[in-house]
Each structure stands twice: as C-alpha cells, then as structure tokens.
Amino acid sequence: MRRRDASAEGASSVRLACVHVRRGDFHESCMHYEEEARSGRARQWVVSHFERGFSCWQTDAELELNLQLVRANAAANGNVLAFYGSSDEPKVFTSASLHQINVSKLQRWASRIQQLESTVGGVIISSQGEVQKSALGAIIDQLVCSRASYLLLNIFSTFSQMVIAHIGVRHSEKIGFVRDLTLSQQGALGVHVDFWRRQNPFDETKLLGVSVVWDNIALRMNQAVGIVPETEASTSTAKSQL
C-alpha cells in the first residue's frame, strides 16, 4: 500500500518548537542591560537588540503573545506545533496566561535523567526542580532545541546562542559554528528562529531614547547619542556573556 502524502492532501504537519525562557537572577542582568542602553555609553549590540524590539525579560502577557504569534506563523505554513519548553524556572510554563498552550518540559523525564547522571558519575539530583539546574539537563535542553523546526529564544542569553551553535555545527558543511542564523541560512536548513519581543516595541516609554522614523515606507531607527561602536567595546566577541 502506497503511503499517503499528508501535505498533498492538505493535512497539517506536526513540527517541534523550542521555547527558551530565562528567569531567576536573569532579571537583574536584564535591568543592567536597560540601564546600559540608557547610559549613552552602551555597546552597539545592546542598543541594537532593544532598537529591534527584542525582550530580555518577558511578562506573562508577552510570553503568551509571542507563543501565539509563532503558532500562527507555523499554521500559515500548514504546520501544527508541539512545544518543548526550557527554563531555569519551568513553572513559568504553567502560568494562567499559557494554559491554552501545552508545553512539554525536561522534568517529565526527571527519573531517567537521575539514573543517567548516577550511571555516568555526574552530580546526583534529588528532585525534579533540580533537573533544569544540572549541567546534563542544560545540555539535553540545548540538543533537543537544536532539533526543533521552530525556535523562540532569548537573544540576550548565551543558552539561546548555544542552541543556534549546535544547529550550525551539526550542519558544518553549510554553516559551522555561529551564534545567529541569517534568513537564508534558516531557509536552507528548514528552521525558523524568532526571539522574544516586547508587547509594544514602539512604546515611547520603552524605546530607551532611540529615535524611530519611517523612511520610504520602511522603519528606520536612529542611533542614540553616545553609542560605543562595537569595535571599541572590549566585549565585541563575547556578546551576551550570561
């Protein structure tokens, strides 16, 4: 019997989507980034992230809106998403605002991970809550996410950058080690990478002093006064050291 082509019949294809949410002490880091962006002596990449509307710390409402947008974009391409969530505080995925989105988490396999860490001589974890904090848990999350077709990541987080690095290394003949994927690279690999965005990136109270103007029907953001060029910043090759 010949196998039916689901896409030919208009049926939806189920794709894996990875969602990475930073919590815990990352809130303090995000506050520092905002203060730096307002300082007039900010590194170029810090201001660029805020200019483009990217979010370092997300409210529950922003989590919900971003997830809905990713799901809608996937649906427009005939795909249904199965969400896998990675966070240092997994309870974020059980918030009331996300009750309509079912997200699988690493804690579901906590007992197996405990056995594996014990077998390989790693640090034995004593509770599900510690799974995400273990080194093995972080590596597993990165590897799972690197296999996803859709990714919703935090552009300020090294963890998110490592997910992209895993993708690039796995396709070393095409990409190699990278911290970001261009749209053409994403198209070649069949992946869609998005980063958390603010609910209203053009809210004047959140623009951090950056001037936003329309130029020939295109949005253009003027560089804030006092921005330190990337070449002058000592951390130009170490973006988002968190």
Q: Find, among 16, 20, 12, 13, the residue nearest to 194 by Cα.
A: 20
> pLDDT tens, position by position, for the chain (242 residues)?
343 444 444 566 999 999 999 998 899 999 999 888 888 888 989 988 988 889 999 988 888 889 888 989 999 999 999 999 888 888 888 887 777 677 877 766 666 666 655 555 554 444 444 544 566 778 888 999 999 999 999 999 999 999 999 999 999 988 999 988 999 999 999 999 999 998 765 555 554 544 444 455 444 445 444 444 444 443 433 444 44
How many angstroms separate the CA atoms of 190 and 166, rounded? 15
Quick check: pTM over 0.75? Answer: no
Distances (CA, A) of 167 to 120, 192, 194: 26, 12, 14
- Fold annotation for 13-107+148-232: Rossmann fold (3.40.50)
Q: Find, among 237, 156, 166, 155, the residue nearest to 193 by Cα.
A: 155
- Residue 104: phi and psi, rounded to 5, are -80, 145
Question: CB within 8 A of 14, min separation 6: which ones?
Answer: 79, 80, 81, 82
138 within 8 A of 157, measured Cβ to Cβ:
no
